[in-house]
Chains A and B, each alone.
Chain A
Amino acid sequence: MMIRGLILLILAGLSAPVLADSRMDAAPYAYVQLKDPAKERQAKELMATIRCLVCQGQSIADSDAEMAGDMRSLIRERIEKGEKPEAIRAWLVERYGDWVTYAPPTRGSSLVLWGLPLVLLMFGTGLAMSRIRRKAR
């Protein structure tokens, strides 16, 4: 029911934040960059690939939702402490499953994602080669 309500809100209001907002300020690092540009870049790259939980298909890097801000803050704080981006991603996946990352799993059936284009490329190359005239020599 809550979800249905969310969808109706979305339909009515395009890209506006969907949840009722709290009266609190944004989380410390939701809208504050890290001092070290290298670390900020790491954080930014990770945030762009983490899916916002309460939005319609947006990354947390592109969302004004409070929950997205809280997750950005969490990521920046952990990067600041020296944690590796992939460790943070794994930590989030442990909690929310593969849904939370825009990087699809590289195991099991999801390997199809990489395999099929390769097969297509090889199959297509073969097909094209068969059309190329053999050198008559």
Chain B
Amino acid sequence: MIAEIGLGLLWLAAGLAVLQSVLGGLALKLTHRPDLGGAIKPVAIAQGVLATCAFVVLVYLFMISDMSVKLVADNSHSEKPWLYKFSGSWGNHEGSMLLWVTILALSGGGIALLERRVRRDTLIATLMAQGLIALGFYAFLLFSSNPFARLNPAPSDGNGLNPLLQDPGLALHPPTLYLGYVGMSVAFSFAVGALLTKDVGPAFARAMRPWVLGAWVFLTLGITAGSYWAYYELGWGGWWFWDPVENASLMPWLAATALLHSVTVLATRDALRAWTIMLAVVAFSMSMIGTFLVRSGILTSVHAFAVDPQRGTFILALLLIYIGAALTLFALRVGTVREGATFEPVSREAALVLNNLFLTVILGVVLIGTLYPIVAQAMGQQISIGPPYFNPAAGSVALLLVVAMAAGPLMRWRRDGAGALMRRMALPLALGAVVMGLVRLMAPEISILSWLGLSAAALAAAGSLAPLWGRNLRRTPLFTWGMVVSHLGVAVALAGMATDTAFMKERLVAVSEGEAADVGPYSVRLVMVAPVIGPNWTALEATMEAQRGTSRPFTLKPQARNYSNPPTDTSEAAISTRWDGQLYAVLGKQNADGSWQLRLWWKPWVTLIWLGGGLIALGGVLSLLGRLWRERRGLGEATHA
């Protein structure tokens, strides 16, 4: 009965989405009937409430382990810990799509409830676009992925006890990315709304900005977490592989980062109007292409997913409809949108244009590199594209971007002098040059990209802090802090990447119990290898003692695990975080002579990569709070963003 209620709620919400779109369309056409536009807000709010209720019903079904519901039976088990029953409700295709549409409907309700900056007709058009997007996903759910489908007869218990999927990271990772994707859809709706009513201006930019910022924070967190997951789970110490699934999450982030900066130009200087609209469309299409790549499985990836080409077809159809329609609208309407003010060559807005240019080129590199194997296959070639393409192609532009990032915040809006800028940049430039020279002298063997990366990181770290120079820190606006922290985060992450790539020490060694091996500054002794038993696995666990010089030794316990159901071997790396890096140990196979194969890495400053990612996201949060504070709109939106 409960499942049927859930399904009923979903149908009702879909009905309201239809109503919302129709009302919006009518209100825009029949301007003499203001009551039509007045009705759209309550409808959007009701749709949000109904979708949320449907999702709560699904979560409830998972919590009580109602095995007569197919989705629960397939993906859950009555003996699962409650956290994984809970997260299991979105840890599958149908549930995750319901979560997607729920967040979408909630944001629609949030806009209807809180948004007061944009013109009334623009708001109505935005809500209409939101209704149409939601409608596509409701159709997807109701016609091809019903989460509430029953199973008759009901099994005695579920199948979903796969231990590998019971990981706190995997429980939180998808909703994080979805929040980012949905935020992009809101920006997209705003862009479509503003195009429809020819209302592309600062007010529209200010309304869109919190959504872009919020979405961007979640995308940043999602990528950072995904990278760390790959780092500890795959067991070879790598943190980025240019794998299609990773690229699928990076592309919306790149577009969102560009949008974030162009929307600021639009809000502050009423320029880059058409370009900002374009970026909003691109950012949402990247979110959908990302979802498509991950769900359709058209490219092989090391990050395994339950893929289904049929679902891919549906997502592709939605992508075609939404983005095709938006770009047609763009071509028809954008001629009426004047691009707005022009720029001085040395000015904050010129630097932001440079930022957008570089980000767009990087996005182009990642997009082409990810999709080109499909094109090649159509031409009868099988090719692979990986680090030898992405690193130089995206890396070189990224270095330019980082330098522009250091200089941009030191420029004034409207007009600035080249000489004054050079004076402000003197210290960062000097620091970058010193690091450049020192690294060249002390480590001439490292790759050019790492060398330039380290220098650019030093320059950017100093440059990002420079806007605080000579300011009263207490009276510095929160969003300026946000910018500083985010930019510093980029420098920190870059430093981590370059240091790890350049100075990482690897040691592959076969040792017997009692023997030791050196890696970097550490001596690692294999004390013993013994079997251990976990809840649903058995493992061989090595006990290692690591010591640097004469300091206090610490223990590492990597495992070679064997899961029984399904039968799977995994290696659980032991990672010990020190103040200046991480020691990473993996237990391999036993050789015929009884010795054990060990893989040891000393990864200096590798933690900076994820610390930097965290700082970037934190800066986004500060910025978001600062903007909302400044606009005296209360903090309500932040909780929905």
Contacts and interface: CB of A to CB of B under 8 A. Distances in A.
A75 interface: no
Interface stretch (B102-110, B200-208, B235-243, B453-461): B235-243
Interface in A1-32: 10-17, 25-26, 31-32
Nearest to A134: B342
B313 interface: no
A31 B360 CA distance: 41
A110 B383 contact: yes
B409 interface: no
A37 to B, nearest CB: 9
B357 A128 contact: yes
B510 interface: yes
Contact of B508 (A12, A31, A112): A31
Nearest to A124: B357
A67 interface: no
A109 B302 contact: no
B344 A15 contact: no
Contact of B300 (A25, A56, A64, A117): A56
B354 interface: yes
A113 interface: yes
B386 A59 contact: yes
A26 B384 CA distance: 26
B244 interface: yes
A51 B568 contact: no
A14 B386 contact: no
Given A58-B302, A62-B236, A31 B588 contact: yes
B384 A99 contact: yes
A12 B568 contact: yes
B550 interface: no
Interface stretch (B172-180, B318-326, B363-371): B363-371
Contacts of A55: 302
A14 B164 contact: yes
Interface in B533-577: 566-571
A120 B361 contact: yes
A11 B350 CA distance: 48
A51 B389 CA distance: 14
Contacts of B301: 56-57
- Identify which of B272, B304, B567, B599 gathers the most chain A CB atoms within 10 Å of its CB: B304
A33 B357 contact: no
B357 A132 contact: no
B386 A121 contact: no
Interface string B366-387: 0011001000100101111111
A62 B234 contact: yes
A102 B370 CA distance: 12
B344 A132 contact: yes
Nearest to B339: A131
A102 B389 contact: yes
B442 interface: no
Contact of B343 (A10, A100, A132): A132
Contact of B368 (A25, A51, A99, A117): A117
Given A110-B383, A112-B372, A120-B361, A15 B241 contact: no
Contacts of B591: 25
Interface in B297-314: 299-302, 304, 306-307
B18 interface: no
Contacts of B361: 117, 120-121, 124
B384 A104 contact: yes
B334 to A, nearest CB: 14
Contacts of A113: 368-369, 372, 385, 389, 393
A100 B388 CA distance: 13
Contacts of A61: 236
B449 interface: no
Contacts of B397: 117, 121
A15 B343 contact: no
Interface string A101-137: 1111100011011101100110011001001110000
A124 B389 contact: no
B387 A49 contact: yes
A44 interface: yes
B120 interface: no
Contact of A13 (B236, B302, B568): B568
B589 interface: yes
Interface in A74-104: 97-104
Contact of A17 (B360, B384, B569): B569
Contact of B387 (A102, A121, A131): A102
Contacts of B235: 15, 64
Nearest to A121: B361
A7 B381 CA distance: 22
B360 A104 contact: no
A128 B507 contact: no
B597 A26 contact: yes
B568 A117 contact: no
Contact of B238 (A62, A100, A103, A133): A62
- Identify which of A32, A33, A117 gathers the most chain B CB atoms within 10 Å of its CB: A117
Interface string B590-632: 0110000101000000000000000000000000000000000
Contact of B506 (A44, A124, A132): A44
A10 B238 contact: no
Contact of B354 (A31, A56, A102, A128): A128
A116 B368 contact: yes
A124 B599 CA distance: 46
A133 B128 CA distance: 38
Contacts of B515: none
B350 A33 contact: no
Contacts of A116: 364, 368
B580 interface: no
A112 to B, nearest CB: 7
A104 B507 contact: no
Contacts of B386: 49, 51, 59, 102-103
Interface in B8-32: none
**4 A-B pairs closest in CB distance:** A102-B386, A103-B388, A13-B568, A99-B382
29 contacts: A13-B164, A13-B566, A14-B304, A14-B570, A17-B569, A25-B591, A31-B588, A31-B599, A32-B510, A44-B506, A49-B388, A51-B386, A56-B301, A57-B300, A57-B301, A62-B236, A63-B236, A98-B384, A101-B388, A102-B385, A102-B387, A113-B368, A113-B369, A121-B397, A131-B339, A131-B342, A131-B343, A132-B342, A132-B344
Given A31-B508, A105-B383, 8 more contacts: A17-B569, A32-B508, A32-B510, A56-B302, A57-B299, A62-B236, A113-B369, A116-B368
